[in-house]
Amino acid sequence: MATKPTNTLYNHNSTAKPSVISKNLLSGDVKDEDCPWVQVGQLYLSVTITGENSWLPLVALLRSQGHKNFKVFSGRHGDIPNIVDRKGMTLNVFDNKHIKEDNDIRARALKEFTDITIEIIDTQQSKTGQAKWLQEETQKHLKSNIPVIYAWCYSLFTMCEFSMPAVGDSLKLYEKVEYVNAQNTELNKTIAELVLTYFPWVLKG
């Protein structure tokens, strides 16, 4: 069955709020393919949870617009916000199984679309200083006008970080009021506000 191009791609200036988008999405019979994306230049970011098949419809759409080469960043989950310890390591997100899953999707994509190339880039190369590494690695590809896809959940919030306290369990931090408050604050910003805060380096080229 042919992959249907994604039908939900937000502009970086959108006033839509992720909290509302998520609520509307989850109120229906949601499928992986329904994942909404945000376009910031040639960087593509997920607004909500994603599934194994979420980025293939995005590739189908971009291919229909003339793009033939893609960089898909993989190997991790996404949090809102992402917990970082005092050494700068991002906690609780890296997961090698996503590399296999995304390579499987890549194989499907190349079988369906024989005129494209897709490179899967493992974000686990830099678990410490992840945000800085992602920015530098992403900019290399954007300069060549190659679409970059952050393939994990909530990748619009990738650069939003929360400092891990000196003492405590990072897994229990998700239940703490200060973390929950930070999460709600981010979810209730507009897409435009989030992009200006976390991805101005893409807008500047």
Residue % of the chain over a pLDDT of 90: 84
In a domain, 39, yes or no: yes
CA distance 174 to 183: 9
Domain count of the chain? 1
CA distance 98 to 100: 5
| Residue that wins the pLDDT comparison between 161 and 53 | 161
In a domain, 125, yes or no: yes
In a domain, 69, yes or no: yes
| Residues of the domain holding 190 | 33-203
In a domain, 1, yes or no: no
In a domain, 16, yes or no: no
Q: What is the pLDDT of residues 85-126, one digit of tens each?
A: 999 999 999 999 999 999 999 999 999 999 999 999 999 999
Q: Which residue has the tokens 């949601």?
A: 30
CA nearest neighbour of 7 among 25, 26, 43, 33 = 33
Q: What is the pLDDT of residues 121-135, one digit of tens each?
A: 999 999 999 999 999
In a domain, 78, yes or no: yes
In a domain, 23, yes or no: no
Q: Are 180 and 120 in contact (CB under 8 A)?
A: no
**Which pLDDT does position 110 carry in this prediction?**
98
In a domain, 14, yes or no: no
- Characterise 200 by phi-psi region: left (phi > 0), alpha (psi -120 to 50), beta (else): alpha
Three-state secondary structure of 15-27: CCCHHHHHHHHHC
